[in-house]
Amino acid sequence: MRFSDFTPFDIWLLLQGLGVSLGLFLSTSLIGLLIGTLWAICRFYRVPVLTQVITFIAELLKNSPVLVQLFLVFFGLPGLLHIRITPTTAATITLSANSAAFVYVIAVSAIESIGRDQIEAARVFGLTRWQVLRHVVAPQAMAFAIGPLTALLVNQLQVTSLISVIGVVDLTKIGNILNLRTLKPFIVWTAVGLLYYLCAKLLAWLGARFENRLRAHSAWRGL
């Protein structure tokens, strides 16, 4: 066996890199969902000043390249604040913030898709704004948002490939190392691409199933 051969052990290395990618993807997606939803709730309540600040931050994040944001956090913040940031920490901060910005936009669109007459009717029946949000707005907004959120998560999974440029040993980084060692780019990058593809398809399938369950649950069945 030559040193340049692509071996079964290399598949194991790629799977380890995939584990790092999926770990960062899941953690940053959860953080982004939480922050983005909280931002949307602040807008729903029309919190003075804070709403304008959140909107400005979200616009800045979603309209600038993720790679630039990553470099700014990893290289810029340490120089500005005189602190040490590890590649994993920089990746977590960047991907979480970027996810939050897009979740915010989706959540706001979902909330605004609900007719004002429903909210006003709920208030007439004595529901507080929190009860309106919980019992009237949230269920309908979730059914509206699950499709765009699934597409966002698939995209964010692919965006994780950028973190390899700052030294995070993820799937793409492992693929690059194996490519330099084996000099067989077609085999290596086909394997890397296939792993990303399978994960993305699984994510899309889970999102579609969840969306179908939500729509079936809310479908009108007659009297």
pLDDT digits (tens, 9 = 90+) for 89-146: 999 999 999 999 999 999 988 888 776 777 777 777 677 777 777 777 777 778 788 8
What is the token pair recorded at 116? 């004002």
| Residues comprising the chain, all counted | 223
- Closest by CA to 84, choosing from 75, 92, 93, is 75
Separate counts of helices (H) and strands (E) for the chain: 10, 0
What is the token pair recorded at 143? 């059914």
Least confident residue range of 25-34, 50-59, 135-144, 155-164:
135-144
Least confident residue range of 25-29, 40-44, 68-72, 132-136:
132-136
> pLDDT averaged over the chain?
86
The domains of the chain are located at 21-218
Query: Contact at 8 Å (CB) between 108 and 141?
Result: no
Residue % of the chain over a pLDDT of 70 = 92
Sole residue written with tokens 């000099």: 183
Sole residue written with tokens 């707005």: 137
What is the architecture of the domain spanning 21-218?
Orthogonal Bundle (1.10)
- Closest by CA to 158, choosing from 42, 21, 32, is 21
pLDDT at 141: 76
Q: Give the burial class of 2: count Cβ atoms within 10 A of its Cβ; 0-12 exposed, 13-18 middle, 19 or more buried.
A: exposed
What is the token pair recorded at 84? 């040490």
